[in-house]
Chains A and B, each alone.
Chain A
Amino acid sequence: MNLFQFCYGLIHWLVDLINNIWYWLGDHLPWWFGNFFTDVGDFARSHAHIAVMAILLEVLIIIIIALINVLNFIWLDRKFMGRMFDFYGPYYVGYRIGGWLQNLADGIKLFVKEIITPAKADRIGFFLGPVIFVGSSFAALVTIPLGWDFYIGTNSGPTVPGVYPGVPASLLIAFMFFAIAPFSILISGWSSNNKYTLIGGMRSAAQMMSYEIPMLLCVASVVLLAGSFSFHGVVAAQHDIWFAIPLFIGFIVFMVCLVAEVEIQPFDLPEAEAELVEGWTTEYCGMRFGLFMMTSYLRGYIGGALAVALFLGGWQGPGFIPDPIWFLTKAYIVFIIVEWMRWSVPRVRVDQILNIGWKRLLPLAMLNLLVAATLKVWGVF
């Protein structure tokens, strides 16, 4: 049973339950209601309605899982940073669960703060920036499966060999949504009408330009080996060996690009707090800033999930652990390694980051593609 079937069954059961009362009402209310009750009840029981509701429920489940993971990630980040830095990290709020409730407390604090739009800011752009940033990042969650049976989709299991469950080109869609965010950063940086945010936005655009290409070349090598644009296909192709082993160069390049894409410490030039105050988020306050903050961790979560699905065998592991838990465990480990790096190295400079991108990562990504093509031609995969 996959997630869709589960949701479909749940909605169906719920509709039947309500319909019992609904039809009873239709039978006992005055005649001038006509067939209204029967028509509505029949519509509610129809396959189309239940399927749509089931998809909405699926999306809700995936988003809730993602948000809980984001809270975990922020907590883990602060706790891990604290241990690295010789202090405890969050501690008092939620004492018995290791200070986990600190994030919720911070969120409530941000909620009650006033949202200020600067007088000289471009109001539409200033509002659209966070909307696009948050929206595109959540949209990237849509096609990432957490397990063989745990994904947003309507079809169930492979019916024809070579056809995988879920959206056929799920990988492309995920990367498409993932790559939208820098535009929103540019929009919000420019519309804030502030020199720091403008420089931050321009840096973000430059950074995205130089790191999107090697990243997608690494993805191309994975797709080449797996022979499928679907996450399910890529993970299924890693049944015998993780792609991180034959495509070792690609894995390293992908991780570096990922860190640059989610703007984590050595490459967090757009929000370099030393010289640009808070970078492109300088003028944002209250919950808008909170959304930016939360979404940057959400992007960390998506990045970890992408790295796991593409290179680290996805949800495949010892069978006794459920797929999603295995998948998320790997994503957490990837995230912790990224955070480890984040808190221990300085930030690179803008010309250096472009040099790394164009002079080092791009040739390495090409080399990696060559390795993948060679392996494919030899028939290893």
Chain B
Amino acid sequence: MAEMWINMGPQHPMTHGLWNLRIKVDGETIVDAEPEVGYLHRGIEKICENRTYTQVIPISDRLCYGSSMSWSHLYCLTVEDLMGIEVPERAEYIRVAVLEMQRIASHLMWLAAYAADLGAMIGFIYTMRDREIWIDLLQALTGSRITYNYPRIGGVAHDLPANWDRDALRACDYMDKKLKEYEDLFDGSKVFMMRNEGVGILKKEDALNLGVTGPPLRASGVKYDLRKDQPYSVYPEIDFQPCYHTDRDCYARYKVRMDEMAMSCHIIRQAIKKMPKGKWRVVAPRNGPVGTGLGRVEDPRGEGMMYLVGDGTDRPYRLKIRSPIFVTVSAAPKMLIGYKVADVVAIMGGLDMCIGETDR
């Protein structure tokens, strides 16, 4: 059969978001691949230059619909670095708890999309149902379900509502049960394993050279987790291990995320137990100093980084956002070539694409 280029996107069920993957196929085998991003560019970095430091927080929420909490937290972290603000300890523990909740919600949404991509519709419904619990918790805390606008420069917007910590602990117990159920549903399914094992192998060297971060990197056998390697917030005081896997294939990426969800439950429990009483916010100055701030966090999708230049006014002079998926997607040809057309959904779905942050 002659080789031909196929556009998988921009309007395609495989692309969660608006991007394009051009693949060159020989029959059913992929011989070349070329990801194209940039369809959803909103100029967020430029928008931020025209807003005061506080007004940027809702904008940074809009970076990613899957994990907006981690992005607004990252922005606040960066501005705190610029201004040299010491955040109260209670606020740090609240942040850790909501960040891990956001991580679980994001991973559950990834699992839902991944199961639907592979054709197991039941996985989509069950995981979205369980994601509701975490979204409900975040809604009780912040008042909204997708873009929370909760972290503030120098703390968080408000304290925990009544009985919220009890509900969060219950949700952790529920999640532990459900994770076992998912294991039965997916790991126990022969067809699921056939679709995942040995598919989309990303070598350790390739992953490191291409700057892949997050679960895809840890699935390639690199033990790199910013929460451990360059700790921020109160992660050093919490007992946890970065989850990694050495199989390098789609199954490893799936397994890393499943382990991370269990680990996040573990972290939430500790954060709620260790949470001290006290202030949850300090008032930040309106004007920032002249200088730069840098924040790096372990986003659910990889390493998120923001670099902020302040010029002494109340607005950022320049904000640079490093998106994990924008870098990770460049590894697509390495993973795709040699596999079948049907593997595209498994491999690209395993990266957990989020175009909001990729195109910014």
Contact = CB atoms under 8 A, between A and B. Distances in A.
Contact of B122 (A344, A348, A349): A344
Contact of A346 (B28, B129, B191, B340): B191
Nearest to B195: A346
A274 B345 contact: yes
Contacts of A113: none
Interface stretch (B112-120, B211-219, B319-327, B330-338): B112-120
Interface in A223-265: 265
Interface in B1-57: 4, 6, 8, 12-14, 25, 28
Contact of A348 (B117, B185, B195): B195
A289 B122 CA distance: 25
Given A85-B121, A274-B116, A348 B13 contact: no
Interface string A259-279: 000000110110011111100
A268 B125 CA distance: 20
B122 A85 contact: yes
Q: Interface extent on A, as a size class?
A: 20 to 34
Contact of B125 (A86, A265, A269, A351): A86
Contacts of A275: 8, 13-14, 341-342, 344-345
Contacts of B163: none
Given A85-B122, A274-B13, A275-B14, A346 B115 contact: yes
Contacts of A348: 191, 194-195
Q: A interface, by DSSP: helix, strand, loop or mixed?
A: loop
A79 to B, nearest CB: 15
Contacts of B209: none
Interface in A348-378: 348-352
Interface string A318-346: 00000000000000000000000001111
A273 B341 CA distance: 12
Most buried by B among A81, A269, A351: A351
Nearest to A345: B191
B81 to A, nearest CB: 42
A195 interface: yes
B28 A199 contact: yes
B76 to A, nearest CB: 37
A345 to B, nearest CB: 5
Most buried by B among A199, A349, A352: A349
A78 interface: no
B88 to A, nearest CB: 41
B121 A343 contact: yes
Interface in B215-234: none
Most buried by B among A275, A349, A351: A275
Given A275-B341, A275-B344, 11 more contacts: A87-B125, A195-B6, A199-B28, A199-B341, A344-B185, A345-B120, A345-B189, A346-B115, A348-B194, A350-B341, A350-B342
30 contacts: A84-B122, A85-B121, A85-B125, A86-B129, A196-B6, A199-B6, A199-B25, A199-B341, A265-B119, A268-B119, A272-B119, A272-B342, A274-B116, A274-B118, A274-B119, A274-B342, A275-B13, A275-B345, A343-B121, A344-B122, A344-B185, A345-B120, A345-B189, A346-B115, A346-B189, A347-B195, A350-B340, A350-B341, A350-B342, A351-B340
Sorted from nearest, which 7 A-B pairs have the closest CB atoms?
A347-B119, A346-B118, A85-B125, A346-B120, A274-B345, A346-B119, A349-B342
